[in-house]
């Protein structure tokens, strides 16, 4: 049954970005794929704008409608199959990540992508190429998608599988299940050489069509069903939140762990090999200190949260390697937190999640805006980038806190301006951050996507020409231009 | 101070429990076991007592080899040594308590700490039964503990309030949530834990006094009904409460 809610759809007009003013005529909650097709067919005949909504945890305004209708995937939320032998899950797009994790882990399996926010839907994760702490070892959502059902605005469905449809250099054609052929010209821009990237359409010669849809933020089609790769859940972990007295030492530590982990990914010796490497700066620690009184007083360099997979046979050696490095870089090792049990490891993840969520609660409660960054740079430019952030922030006098995926040279710098002057100042600083990241070969968005709030930055990254090439892709797949209006480009 | 902390392992709280083929036990294939969460409060309290009064902490567990990994977690938190009484059957609470008592009767202990209950069978009998077998006082569900010399002052949760009781060492205490915040293990303790001794003893596996007849999963809750706030919706609500739920 297609349901429309005529009242009470406030929840569909916002996400977790600052963007407000969203409005829509109606919300559709299809319960079957056929209904998705019908809704799209009707909307494209009437040229009604369609904004696709996942769980609304996005940070870039992608799911916020400005007119037209909202198509929510919330009711397409069945886990269809978990196949232990094949290491495969088939899910509907509205399945919430938390539920999938719980289900696969209870069967001794792991779906590696772990965005800090577990309340998003798999379709939302697909559409933003979401990533998380474990992306350091396992890559972003893109690497774990092996197939998808995508409905185009015409109402036709594409059944895509990994490597099922590759481009010939820069051109590609695809046939829908009802045999309409779509010709696509792949954009020519070069994507940045960062280890994470989620801004603009994925584009490479000879690319796989599936990759075009991953990260397309609801502008090319509605994903309704996904096939995901699963692995055996590593038996045990060793994890820690290590506190540091100074910036120099924390970044020395990070450089060493990052390099050794990258090396050991290939060599497979029982040396340290972090699967997650995350940073929390001293301001962010200050922010949550009340709830976590055991944060040491002099953690002026911030903290690193890491996770390492271990096996009984080699764990002693492994932990001694970690201990050696930790003790070399910090005097706070006795005040740091370590965990061998799943419960302690969960406590640390909760701590990590508490940082962004307490920032969101703060901005809601105090009615202030948050200016957050999502840029990643190549690893060898990280220090330059961080110094730039720090100088600008210290000079600005704005309240700020920083956390993020330092293993991937990707931090979220957040400014919380308190009045109009400060808002304008934060806006100017954000612009300078983006310019600097681009100079260093970085991306304007590593994981949250462009949405409606970073369109100007996407243009800055790829230029008008790049944007025009993306528009061309969009015209080929969504000729009535009804999907995700205002997202990615205008 | 000679401190004993009794620990056990329970299925991980995220496990999907299945009833075994015999209809009397859970099916433990693929189940991950964790240190019983209330026992962590007991271990933490032991550590605090040792910090304040000196002494040694022994972990005591009745179980099989699989319990060793969770015993090591207690050792990594800082306990000094452990005793594992080998008994796969663990026939019932009394059977386990009497094997704990067998070990403790010989020793000169000052205090025994346990979790208020294990979160699998939730019977909360272990502490009081053990105290009875040892002929020692027991304070259960403790949320605050003060020890001065041999006098003990404990606060415990009771329905709608707190009760403050006094007793003296040696005694048995069961830990309730709120007693403390279990610490993360320290790096040197994690490394030392591997080398700390776990002494193994053969259990006597006494027969059960309680027989489990059957184990059943709770009935599945059926989905709720959503009614809107219109006058018709409210009429319907009243009708359902009267005719279906029969509560008004
Ligand atoms: C506290 C917090 C922490 C976060 N941490 C991370 C993090 O670590 N890593 C990370 O990557 N993100 C993070 N996010 C952002 C957010 O959780 C992700 O972007 C997530 O992927 C969004 O999923 P959603 O279902 O909420 O999508 P929505 O917000 O509903 O939508 C996001 C975009 O995807 C499109 N979309 C949604 N579903 C579909 C579909 N089925 N088909 C086509 N398009 C669709 C929408 O149109 C929109 O453009 C965080 C957010 C919060 C609030």
pLDDT for A219-236, tens place per residue?
A: 999 999 999 999 999 888
Test site for ligand 1: of A128, A212, A451, most ligand atoms within 8 A of the Cβ: A128
pLDDT value of residue A4: 60
pLDDT value of residue A3: 60
Give the confidence band of A5 by pLDDT, cuts at 50, 70, 90. Answer: low
Domain-embedded: residue A369: yes
Domain-embedded: residue A217: yes
Q: Both A86 and A49 in a single domain?
A: no
From the candidates B70, B187, B189, which should be mutated to test the interface with A, based on the most A CB atoms within 10 A?
B187
Cα–Cα distance for residue pair A77/A100, rounded to 1 Å: 10
pLDDT at A347 over 60: yes
Q: Which of A424, A439, A454 is the last residue of a domain?
A: A439
Q: Both A86 and A195 in a single domain?
A: yes
pLDDT at A268 over 80: no
Domain-embedded: residue A445: no
pLDDT at A178 over 90: no
- Interval A145-149 mean pLDDT: 98
- Please report the atom of ligand 1 found closest to the CA of residue A221: 43
Residues 6+ apart with CB under 8 A from B202: B85, B86
> Of A135-139, B136-140, B219-223, where does mean pLDDT reach its minimum?
B219-223
Subunit contact B34:A342, Cβ cutoff 8 A: yes
A56 lines ligand 1 (CB under 6 A): yes
Give the confidence band of A434 by pLDDT, cuts at 50, 70, 90. Answer: very high
* Min Cα separation A322/chain B (Å): 9
- Please report the atom of ligand 1 found closest to the CA of residue A150: 42
Domain-embedded: residue A474: no
pLDDT value of residue A1: 47
* Min Cα separation B74/chain A (Å): 10
- What single DSSP character describes residue B16? -
pLDDT at A184 over 70: yes
Q: Both A108 and A51 in a single domain?
A: no
For residue A418, give its domain range: 236-439
Q: Both A39 and A23 in a single domain?
A: yes
Side-chain-facing half-sphere of B66: CA atoms under 13 Å: 14
**Residue B122: count of CB within 10 angstroms of its CB:** 10
The SS3 call for residue B93 is helix
Give the confidence band of A433 by pLDDT, cuts at 50, 70, 90. Answer: very high
The mean pLDDT of chain A is 94
**Residue A420: is it exposed, middle or buried by C-beta count within 10 angstroms (0-12/13-18/19+)?**
exposed
Residues 6+ apart with CB under 8 A from A380: none
Task: State which residue of chain A sits closest to B76, comparing Cα positions.
Answer: A340
Q: Both A42 and A109 in a single domain?
A: no
Of the candidates A102, A107, A338, which has its C-beta nearest B184's C-beta?
Answer: A338
Q: Ligand 1 centre from A130 Cα, in Å? A: 7
Cα–Cα distance for residue pair A144/A349, rounded to 1 Å: 22
pLDDT at A117 over 70: yes
Is-contact B156 B143, C-beta < 8 A? yes
pLDDT at A2 over 70: no
Name B111's bridge partners.
B3, B171
Say if B137 is an interface residue toward chain A (CB within 8 Å). Answer: no
Say if B18 is an interface residue toward chain A (CB within 8 Å). Answer: no
Q: Ligand 1 centre from A223 Cα, in Å? A: 13
Q: Give the residue among B218, B198, B229 at the shortest CA–CA distance from B60.
A: B198
Q: Both A344 and A331 in a single domain?
A: yes
pLDDT in tens, B175-185: 999 999 999 99
pLDDT value of residue A8: 62
Say if A323 is an interface residue toward chain B (CB within 8 Å). Answer: yes
Q: Give the residue among A478, A445, A410, A21 at the shortest CA–CA distance from A197.
A: A445
A261 lines ligand 1 (CB under 6 A): no
- What single DSSP character describes residue A373? -
Cα–Cα distance for residue pair A425/A400, rounded to 1 Å: 13
pLDDT at A168 over 50: yes
Q: DSSP labels for A39-66? A: HHHHHHHHT--EEEESSS--SSSTT--B
Cα–Cα distance for residue pair A125/A114, rounded to 1 Å: 10
Cα–Cα distance for residue pair A113/A193, rounded to 1 Å: 20
The domain that holds A25 is classified in CATH as 3.30.43.10
A131 lines ligand 1 (CB under 6 A): yes
The domain that holds A215 is classified in CATH as 3.30.465.10
Is-contact A210 A160, C-beta < 8 A? yes
All CATH 3.40.50.620 domain ranges in chain B, comma separated: 2-202
> Of A6-20, A156-170, A226-240, A470-484, where does mean pLDDT reach its minimum?
A6-20
The SS3 call for residue B219 is coil
From the candidates A305, A340, A351, which should be mutated to test the interface with B, based on the most B CB atoms within 10 A?
A340
The mean pLDDT of chain B is 91
Q: Give the residue among A8, A93, A22, A4 at the shortest CA–CA distance from A55.
A: A93
pLDDT value of residue A254: 97
**Residue A487: count of CB within 10 angstroms of its CB:** 27
Domain-embedded: residue A477: no
* Min Cα separation A307/chain B (Å): 14
pLDDT in tens, B35-55: 999 999 999 999 999 999 999
pLDDT in tens, A452-478: 999 999 999 999 999 999 999 999 999
Domain-embedded: residue A456: no
Q: Give the residue among A296, A471, A353 at the shortest CA–CA distance from A117.
A: A353
Say if A105 is an interface residue toward chain B (CB within 8 Å). Answer: yes
> Of A4-13, A343-352, B90-99, where does mean pLDDT reach its minimum?
A4-13
Q: DSSP labels for A145-172? A: EEEEEEE-TTS-EEEEETTSSB-BTTEE
pLDDT value of residue A331: 95
Count of domains in chain A? 3
Residues 6+ apart with CB under 8 A from A443: A191, A192, A194, A196, A197, A198, A199, A375, A376, A437, A461
Q: Both A427 and A321 in a single domain?
A: yes
Q: Give the residue among B5, B13, B4, B20 at the shortest CA–CA distance from B34.
A: B13
The domain that holds A332 is classified in CATH as 3.40.462.10
pLDDT at A39 over 50: yes
ipTM exceeding the 0.85 mark: no
Q: Give the residue among B87, B83, B105 at the shortest CA–CA distance from B96.
A: B87
> Of A25-39, A278-292, B80-94, B221-235, where does mean pLDDT reach its minimum?
B221-235
Subunit contact A338:B30, Cβ cutoff 8 A: no
Is-contact A215 A142, C-beta < 8 A? yes
Give the confidence band of A364 by pLDDT, cuts at 50, 70, 90. Answer: confident
Cα–Cα distance for residue pair A421/A310, rounded to 1 Å: 51
Q: Both A249 and A339 in a single domain?
A: yes
Give the confidence band of A366 by pLDDT, cuts at 50, 70, 90. Answer: confident
Q: Which of A196, A214, A232 is the last residue of a domain?
A: A232
- Interval A330-354 mean pLDDT: 92
A146 lines ligand 1 (CB under 6 A): no
Name A412's bridge partners.
A403
Of the candidates A107, A319, A343, which has its C-beta nearest B190's C-beta?
Answer: A319
pLDDT at B224 over 80: no
Q: Where are the beta strands (DSSP E) in A286-444?
A: 302-310, 337-339, 371-372, 400-405, 410-415
pLDDT value of residue A316: 86
Q: Both A255 and A368 in a single domain?
A: yes
Q: Where are the alpha helices (DSSP H) in B80-153?
A: 93-106, 126-134
pLDDT at B221 over 80: no
Give CA separation, A36 vs A57, A79, A151, A170, B94, in Å.
Answer: 22, 18, 8, 30, 60
Of the candidates B15, B32, B184, which has its C-beta nearest A337's C-beta?
Answer: B184
pLDDT value of residue A164: 93
Say if A326 is an interface residue toward chain B (CB within 8 Å). Answer: yes
pLDDT value of residue B244: 83
Cα–Cα distance for residue pair A448/A430, rounded to 1 Å: 16
pLDDT at A7 over 70: no
Q: Give the residue among A126, A180, A132, A173 at the shortest CA–CA distance from A152.
A: A180
Cα–Cα distance for residue pair B88/B228, rounded to 1 Å: 55
Cα–Cα distance for residue pair A228/A234, rounded to 1 Å: 18
Q: Both A294 and A434 in a single domain?
A: yes
pLDDT in tens, B108-158: 899 999 999 999 888 899 999 999 999 999 999 999 999 999 999 999 989
Q: Both A259 and A349 in a single domain?
A: yes
Domain-embedded: residue A457: no
Is-contact A406 A412, C-beta < 8 A? no
Q: Which CATH number fits domain B2-202: 3.30.530.20, 3.40.710.10, 3.40.50.620, 3.40.30.10?
A: 3.40.50.620
Q: Both A137 and A247 in a single domain?
A: no
- Interval A133-159 mean pLDDT: 96
Subunit contact B12:A333, Cβ cutoff 8 A: no
Domain-embedded: residue A90: yes
A484 lines ligand 1 (CB under 6 A): yes
Model pTM? 0.86
* Min Cα separation B50/chain A (Å): 18
Residues 6+ apart with CB under 8 A from A273: A137, A260, A261, A264, A265, A308, A309
A130 lines ligand 1 (CB under 6 A): yes
Instruction: Determine phi and psi for A469, rounding to 5 degrees.
Output: -65, -35
Q: Which of A17, A45, A72 is the last residue of a domain?
A: A72
* Min Cα separation A105/chain B (Å): 9
């Amino acid at each position: 049954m297609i349901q429309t809610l005529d009242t009470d759809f406030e929840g569909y007009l916002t996400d977790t970005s600052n963007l407000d003013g969203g409005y829509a005529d109606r919300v559709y909650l299809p319960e079957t794929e056929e209904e998705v097709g019908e809704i799209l067919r009707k909307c494209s005949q009437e040229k009604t704008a369609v904004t696709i909504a996942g769980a609304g945890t996005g940070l870039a305004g992608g799911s916020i409608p400005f007119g037209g209708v909202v198509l929510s995937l919330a009711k397409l939320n069945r886990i269809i199959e978990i196949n232990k032998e094949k290491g495969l899950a088939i899910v509907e797009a509205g399945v919430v990540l938390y539920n999938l994790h719980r289900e696969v882990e209870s069967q001794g399996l792991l779906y590696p992508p772990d965005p800090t926010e577990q309340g998003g839907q798999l379709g939302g994760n697909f559409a933003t190429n979401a990533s998380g702490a474990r992306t350091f070892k396992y890559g972003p959502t893109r690497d774990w998608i092996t197939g998808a059902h995508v409905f185009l605005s015409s109402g036709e469905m594409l059944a895509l599988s990994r490597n099922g449809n590759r481009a010939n250099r820069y051109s590609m054609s695809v046939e829908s299940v009802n045999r309409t052929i779509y010709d696509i010209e792949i954009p020519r821009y070069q994507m940045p050489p960062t280890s994470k990237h989620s801004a603009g359409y994925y584009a490479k010669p000879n690319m796989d069509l599936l990759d075009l849809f991953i990260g397309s933020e609801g502008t090319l089609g509605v994903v309704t069903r996904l096939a995901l790769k699963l692995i055996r859940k590593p038996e045990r972990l060793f994890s820690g939140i290590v506190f540091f007295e100074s910036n120099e030492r924390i970044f020395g530590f990070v450089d060493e762990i990052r390099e050794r982990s990258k090396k050991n990914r290939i060599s497979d010796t029982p040396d340290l090999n972090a699967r997650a490497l995350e940073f929390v700066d001293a301001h962010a620690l200050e922010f949550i200190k009340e709830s976590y009184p055991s944060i040491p007083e002099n953690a002026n360099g911030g903290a690193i949260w890491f996770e390492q997979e271990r096996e009984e046979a080699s764990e002693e050696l492994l932990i001694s390697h970690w201990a050696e490095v930790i003790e070399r870089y910090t005097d706070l090792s006795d005040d740091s937190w370590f965990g061998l049990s799943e419960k302690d490891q969960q406590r640390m993840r909760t701590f990590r999640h508490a940082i962004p969520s307490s920032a969101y609660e703060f901005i809601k409660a105090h009615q202030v805006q948050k200016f957050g960054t999502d840029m990643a740079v190549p690893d060898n430019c990280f220090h330059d980038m961080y110094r730039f952030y720090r100088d600008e922030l210290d000079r600005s006098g704005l309240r700020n806190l920083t956390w993020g995926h330092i293993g991937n040279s990707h931090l979220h710098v957040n400014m919380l301006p308190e009045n109009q002057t400060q808002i304008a100042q934060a806006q100017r600083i954000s612009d300078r951050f983006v310019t600097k990241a681009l100079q260093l070969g970085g991306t304007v968005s590593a994981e949250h996507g462009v949405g409606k709030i970073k369109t100007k930055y996407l243009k800055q990254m790829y230029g008008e020409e790049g944007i025009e090439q993306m528009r061309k892709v969009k015209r080929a797949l969504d000729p009535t231009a009804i999907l995700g209006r205002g997202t990615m480009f205008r | 101070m000679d401190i004993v902390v009794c620990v056990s392992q329970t299925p991980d709280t995220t496990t999907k429990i299945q009833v075994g083929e015999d209809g009397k036990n859970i099916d433990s294939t693929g189940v991950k076991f964790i240190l019983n969460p209330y026992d962590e409060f007991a271990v933490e309290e032991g550590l605090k007592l040792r910090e304040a009064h000196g002494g040694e902490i022994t972990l005591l567990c009745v179980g099989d080899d699989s319990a060793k990994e969770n015993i090591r977690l207690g050792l990594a938190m800082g306990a000094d040594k452990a005793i594992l009484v080998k008994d796969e059957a663990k026939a019932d609470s009394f059977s386990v308590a009497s094997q704990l008592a067998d070990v403790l009767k010989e020793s000169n202990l000052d205090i025994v700490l346990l979790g208020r209950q294990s979160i699998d069978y939730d019977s909360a009998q272990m502490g009081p039964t053990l105290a009875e077998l040892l002929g020692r006082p027991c304070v259960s569900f403790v949320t605050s503990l003060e020890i001065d010399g041999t006098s003990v002052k404990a606060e415990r949760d009771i329905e709608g309030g707190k009760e403050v009781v006094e007793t003296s060492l040696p005694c048995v205490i069961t830990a309730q949530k709120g007693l403390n915040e279990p610490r993360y293990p320290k790096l040197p303790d994690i490394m030392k834990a591997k080398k700390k001794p776990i002494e193994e003893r053969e259990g006597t596996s006494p027969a059960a006094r309680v027989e489990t007849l059957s184990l059943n999963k709770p009935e599945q809750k059926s989905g709720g009904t959503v009614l809107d706030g219109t006058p018709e919706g409210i009429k319907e609500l009243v009708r359902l409460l009267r005719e279906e739920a029969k509560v008004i």
